[in-house]
Structure 1
Amino acid sequence: MELIALGDRDHADMVRAVTYGRQSHKSETDSQASPQMQKDKGVAYINSQDNWRHVGHYEDVGLSGYDPNVYRPDFERLMEDARQRKFDVVVIYMLSRLTRQGAAEAMKIQQELASHGVALVSTQEPFINTSDDNPFGVAFFALIAGLAHQESKNKSKFIRDAFAALKAKGSHSSGPVPYGFEAEPVNVDGLTVRLLKPGQTSDAEIGPESTPADNVMEIIEAAESGLTENAIAVRMTGRGARTPLASLDEEAAKARIAAAQKRRKNGTEDTAKLEWSDQVVRRILRDPRLAGFAIGPVDPKTRRRQILRDEQGQPVRPHEGFITPKRWYDLQALLDGRKRTRRVDRAGTMTFLGSWGVLRCGLCGAGMTVSNMNGTYVCNLRRSVGDVAKHVVRIAMEDTDNVVATRLWAKVATLDPENDDDVDILAAAAERFAVQGADPEAAAELAEQEAQLHHVQSSMEELYQDRRDGLYEGTTGRAAFKETILKYQQHEARCVARIDELKAAVTTATRLPLDEWAADSDNGDPMEPGGLWDRWDVPERRAFLALFADRVIVNPNTTRRGSSWDRVNGRVEIEWATPERSDEDNESVTA
C-alpha cells in the first residue's frame, strides 16, 4: 500500500475532498449509522484541514456493504469520478461504511483509489489515513478491514437467528412492506413481530389519488371478473394509478431502479418505466399475504412466494389480509386455469353459457366467449397450437341456450335410479346441491378445504418435478425435500379427511327437490312462459346447469341443411356430471 502525497500536484494550494456515507437501513437519528451524521463528521474533518475543500458527497442508503451482489450506485459513481481525478481525498466515517467484505476487498478499493492519486481517510479511525500526513496508515489498514469483516460475520449470524425466531411467528421481519399493506409491531410470546394489515383506503376513484390499498382491491376484483394481467395493467396505467415503484419515496425508488439496472446485462438503460406491467399485477395477485398468510422461501422454479407452514404442515396465518383464504385460493385456481374463469364476457354482459368455462370448443377444448355483434358464441384460435390448427368455431347463441336448456330439463325429468349412468348423475347433483344449500359457514369451510387441497397437490407436483430436475441433490437437498413433502402430505391428508366429513354431513341432510321443480309450472313444463326457467335469472340458470352437467361441447358445423335449431342441436354435446372419484379413470358421460 502506498501513501498519497497530497502536496505533490498541480493545484497544491487546495486539496479537493469528497465524503462517502452508507447505511443498510435509513435512519435520521444521531447514531453513527445516520447518513447525515456521517456526512457532518466528514465535512467537519475536511474543514479542520489546511487548504482542504469539500467538493462533493456520495451516499448509498438502504444498501448492504457486506453482500457482494448488492449494487451501490453512488459508490460506483465515486469510483468512476476517482478514475477521472475529480478529487484528491475520500473521507469516510468508518471503514465499515465503505465495505464490510474484509481486508482483501478494502485493500482492493484503496489500491484502485491510490492508482489514480486519491487518498482515503477515516474520521473515526485515525490509523486509516493513506495520505502522506500519516505514515502509520499503511500498517493498520488491513487490520481494521479484517476486524470490520469479522464484526459483520458475527452480526449476520445473530440477525439470521433472530429472523428465524421472528419468522416462526409469522413476522414480516425483513424487506419492504408489500404494496398496499402497513406493518404494525405486536408483542407475541415475548417477541416484537411486525404484522401486516391492509393500508388506508379512500373514496377516491382509481387514479392518481387512490391509495395503494384501493389499487390492490381493484386488481383483485378485476382478476376475479376475468380480466387478464395485461388487461388489468393497461387499465391501471390508463387511470393513472400509482405503481408500487411510484408509491415509494424518491430515494427508495432511485435505489430500486438502480438495482434493476445493475441486474440487466445489456447496458444500464431503464426499460421498466413507472407504468403497470402484467408482471407487477401477477406478483400482487400471487402473493399469499393477500389472504393473511406468512410467506416462506421463494420457489426456485416458479419464482412464486410460498406459504410458510408450521411443523404440522398447516399454513401460518398471522396477518390481516385483503381477502379470505378461500377467496385467495380461488383466485390462484383462476390464474392457473383450474377454475372457470369469467363470469361476464369481454363486453361486461352475462350470458347463460358464454365466458364462464362450461361452453367448450370441440376442436381445441378452449372456453368459448360471446360475440355480441351477431349474437353468437365463438372460439377464435388465431394461431395453431400443437396439432390443433387455427380455426373459428361459431354457433348461434339463442338457439344454443334453448337446446341446452331443453336437453337439461329433459334429462332431469327422465333420470332413472335403476340406470347406472343416471345414478352417477343423481349422486353428483345431490352432492353439489347439498353444498349449495349448506349453511354459509359449512359451505365456506368446504370450499376453502377443497381450494387448499388443490393448492397443496399442485405444490407437491411442482416439488416432485423439481426433484426430477435435480434441484434436491446431495444430503442437504434430500433432507430439505423430505421435510417439505412430509408437510405437504400431512396437510393433504387433513384436507381430504375434512372434505369427506363436510360432504357427508351436508349430503345426508339434503335431497334433490326434483318433484318440486317439475310441479312449479302449471302444465309441468318449466320452460313455458312464466315457468320456473323463465323466472330464473342468469346466475340461477347457471347454478342449475352446474348441478347436472360439467361441460357443453360445440363441434364444428358440417352441414347447411335443416333449420338453425336442427343444425345447433346436431353440434351440441353435453357432458353430464359424475361424482368425484379417487381413481384417475373417471370419465364423464356424454349425451
Structure 2
Amino acid sequence: VNELSRLTRKGAHDALQIDNEFKKYGVRFVSVLEPFLDTSNAIGVAIFTLIAALAKQDSDIKAERLRGAKDVIRAVGGRHSSSAPYGMRATREKIGNLVVSVLEPDEDNPDHVATVERMVEMSCAGVSDNKIATTLDSEDVPAPGEAERRATEKRMQSIKKRRVSNEDSPIRWRAQTVRWILSHPAIGGFASERVKRGKAYVNVVARDEGGAPLTPHRGIVPGAEWLELQERRSKRNKTNKQLGAEATPTLLSGWRFTTCGICAGSMGQSRNNGGQDYYMCANPKGHGGLSIKRKDADDYVARRVWARLAAADVDDHEHREWLAEAALRFALQRDLSGVREERRETAARLEHVRNSIAELQADRKAGLYRGRDELAMWRATMTQYRTFEDRCTARLEELDERTTAAIQVPSNWFEPGEDPLGAGSPWATWDVFERREFLDLFLSGVSVGPG
C-alpha cells in the first residue's frame, strides 16, 4: 500500500488482525511511504500499532468535523448532497454566518419550470399522476431523465443494461416520476430530508428543533399552495377502484374502512340484477360471501355516530376521552403546516425504539450480556434508547396539545337537529369525501358481520 492509513483507518486492533491474516497466507505487508514498518519484531509491531492508532484518530476527527458541518447546514435547511429536483437548480447563498446551497427555479431551463407549474395545475384540478405522465409523453415533453445534467453517458449505459428490449427508446414519463416531483418539499420552498417508509425512502419537510418547517429555498410554487396540493392528493387516495369502469366513490368502501366480520377482508361495492347497490366482501371464498345493502349500511353507521355525538356528556370520562380523540383527529385533518406528517414520523420512531428496547431486554434475559463490560454496554444502550423514547413521547404530547388548542370541533355538530342526515344538516351539505373525514374522526372502521 502507499501508506498504512490507506489499508485501514479503524485502529490498531483492526490493523493487527489484517497483518495476522497476511502472515497466515505468507503475504508480506509493505508500505511505500513507511519503509520502516516491520511487524516481524516487537518494536516494529509497536510502531505499526501506533501509526494505525494515529490514522484512526485522524479519521475520527475528520468524520466528526464533517458530521458537524452537515448538522449545521441541515439546521438552516441547506443542502449538502444529492442533485436538485427537476425544474430547480442549486445556488450558493449566505445564511447567517454560513454559505450553503439553496434551491431556486432553474432559469437556465425555463421549460422545466413551466412543466412543473403545469403539473401542479393539473394535479390541483384532479388529474391523476398516470394521466399527467401520459399527457406529457404524448406531447413529447422530454422526461427528467433526458435532461442534460442527468443524461450522462454512464447513466444512459446503466439504463440500457436494465432494459429487457434492445430497442434504443427514449426515457418516458411515468406516474412514479410525477409523484416524486409533486411531492418534493423543495417545489414549495421547504427544506427536505429523506426518511424510510416501508421499503422505500421519501422526501419530507425538514424542521428545526422547535418543529417549525425550514424554508430556505425559493420554490416554483408558494409554500401554502404546495401544502394545499399535498392535502388534496392525500384525500384523492381515498377513492374506489373498479376494473373496467369509472370510479364512483361511496361512503364506506374504497378506502379500507369497512371490513368483513368473517374473514377480515375489505368490503367492495356491487350491484345485483335488480339494481340494488351492496357492499360485498371482496374475498368471499371460504364463507360463501357476505353483503349488505349500501343505503342501509350508510344510514345506520351515520346515524349511530350522530346519535352518540348528540348524547355526549362531557362529565362522563369515557365520553370525554372519545371527544378528545375526535378533536385531535379533526385538528390533524385540517393542519396544513405538516404537523400530521411529523406526528406520523415521531410515532413511527417511538414504536421503533420501543421494539429495540424489547429486543435488548430479551437479549439480556437470554444471557447474551454476561461480563462486566457487556453489562455496562447494555446499560449505556438502554439509557440511550430510553432517552430517545422520552423525547419522542414529549414531542407527541406537544404536537397533540398544539393541534387541539388551535382547532376546535364545530359547535353545530353537537346540535344536529331532529334529523341529523336531513335537509339543512351539516351532513346533507357535505360530499362523500367530507362525510368520510367526519366518520374517520369518531370511528377506527366498520366491521360487517353475518345475519
Counterpart for residue 360 of structure 1: 259
Counterpart for residue 499 of structure 1: 400
1:455 aligned onto 2:355: no
Counterpart for residue 536 of structure 1: 429
Per the TM alignment, residue 238 of structure 1 is displaced from its structure 2 partner at its CA by: 5.4
What code does the residue aligned with 1:342 have? K
Asked if structure 2 preserves the Cα contact closer than 8 Å seen for 1:301 and 1:466, the reply is no
Counterpart for residue 191 of structure 2: 293
Secondary structure of 1:211 counterpart? helix
Distance (Å, rounded) in 2 between the aligned partners of 1:452 and 1:461:
14
Counterpart for residue 244 of structure 1: 144
1:444 aligned onto 2:335: yes
Distance (Å, rounded) in 1 between the aligned partners of 2:288 and 2:114:
43
RMSD: 5.9
Counterpart for residue 397 of structure 1: 294
Per the TM alignment, residue 491 of structure 1 is displaced from its structure 2 partner at its CA by: 5.4
Q: Which has the higher contact order (CA 8 A, sep 6+)?
A: 2
1:256 pairs with one of 155, 159, 165? 155
1:196 aligned onto 2:87: no
1:211 pairs with one of 109, 115, 126? 115
Per the TM alignment, residue 452 of structure 1 is displaced from its structure 2 partner at its CA by: 1.3
What code does the residue aligned with 1:256 have? R
Deviations 1:278-313 (A, max 9, x none): 6545655775545613336x7598452576978948
Per the TM alignment, residue 178 of structure 1 is displaced from its structure 2 partner at its CA by: 1.2
1:377 pairs with one of 273, 279, 303? 279
Distance (Å, rounded) in 2 between the aligned partners of 1:217 and 1:484:
45
Asked if structure 1 preserves the Cα contact closer than 8 Å seen for 2:88 and 2:105, the reply is yes
When Rg is computed on C-alpha atoms for both structures, the one with the higher figure is 1
What code does the residue aligned with 1:214 have? R
Equivalent positions of 1:272-291 (< 5 A) are 274-277=171-174, 280=177, 283-284=180-181, 287=184, 289=186
Deviations 1:541-584 (A, max 9, x none): 4455445433222235x5xxxxxxxxxxxxxxxxxxxxxxxxxx
Distance (Å, rounded) in 2 between the aligned partners of 1:427 and 1:211:
48
Equivalent positions of 1:132-531 (< 5 A) are 164=70, 166-197=73-104, 211-215=115-119, 232-233=129-130, 236-237=133-134, 239-240=136-137, 242-246=142-146, 248-249=147-148, 252-260=151-159, 274-277=171-174, 280=177, 283-284=180-181, 287=184, 289=186, 292-295=190-193, 302-304=199-201, 312=209, 314=211, 317-320=214-217, 341-342=237-238, 347-365=246-264, 367-371=266-270, 375-381=277-283, 393-412=290-309, 415=311, 417=313, 424-425=318-319, 427-429=321-323, 432=326, 444=335, 448-462=338-352, 490=391, 492-500=393-401, 502-503=403-404, 514=414, 516-518=415-417, 524-527=418-421, 530=423
Distance (Å, rounded) in 1 between the aligned partners of 2:164 and 2:251:
53
Distance (Å, rounded) in 1 between the aligned partners of 2:177 and 2:287:
31
What code does the residue aligned with 1:211 have? T
Deviations 1:328-355 (A, max 9, x none): 98799x6xxxx99415666354433333
For this pair of structures, how many residues does the alignment match? 363
Asked if structure 2 preserves the Cα contact closer than 8 Å seen for 1:199 and 1:212, the reply is no
Per the TM alignment, residue 211 of structure 1 is displaced from its structure 2 partner at its CA by: 0.8
Asked if structure 1 preserves the Cα contact closer than 8 Å seen for 2:421 and 2:428, the reply is no
Q: Unmatched 5+ residue regions in structure 2? A: 1-31, 33-58, 364-373
